[in-house]
Amino acid sequence: MGRKKNRKGSPLSIILLLLLVAFLSSLFYKIVRKGPSEPIRVEVLNACGVSKLARRTTEVLRDMGFDVVYYGNATTLRNESVVVERYSKDRKHAKVVARALGIKQIIVSIDTTGIAQVSVIIGKDYKRIKKLNRREFVL
């Protein structure tokens, strides 16, 4: 008759298993502790003269989870739409908003006195903005 195998692990394998569990637990704790990040605060300005475009853009951005704190008309008209970073030189907020809308041009104009982290300026090329071309938003 054969001998029964010892099912207990070696002390080294138990220690390695405990270290792995501790490592994975610490990663999970960091993810849970961090929680959801705050939504990016956005200002939407209509710089093309098309009626209600800023409001409609606001609806699209809010549906995507952005916090639109202001929308209205720009003081001057623009041909091209642009996303303006207001808080960070590395354009981290503007990149997220630009990618969500499909706007290619990003500029930095730091102004931390305002509440918006990003300004979206909708120009005369608004028909190229992929998220504004949904049927319910066609003007």
Mean pLDDT, the chain, integer: 85
Residue by residue, DSSP assigns 13-71 as HHHHHHHHHHHHHHHHHHHHHH-PPPPPEEEEEE-S--TTHHHHHHHHHHHTT-EEEEE
Tell me the domain boundaries of the chain.
41-137
Checking if the pLDDT of 30 tops 70, the result is no
Question: Is the CATH number 3.30.70.2390 carried by domain 41-137?
Answer: yes
SS3 state of residue 131: helix
Residue 112 Rama label (left phi>0; alpha psi -120 to 50; beta): alpha
Residue 4: pLDDT band (50, 70, 90) is low
Q: Over pLDDT 90: what percentage of the chain?
A: 58
CA atoms within 13 A on the CB side of 8: 2
Residue 134, both tokens: 């949904």
User: Which tens digits make up the pLDDT trace of 71-111?
Assistant: 999 999 999 999 999 988 889 999 999 999 999 999 999 98
Higher pLDDT, 34 or 76: 76
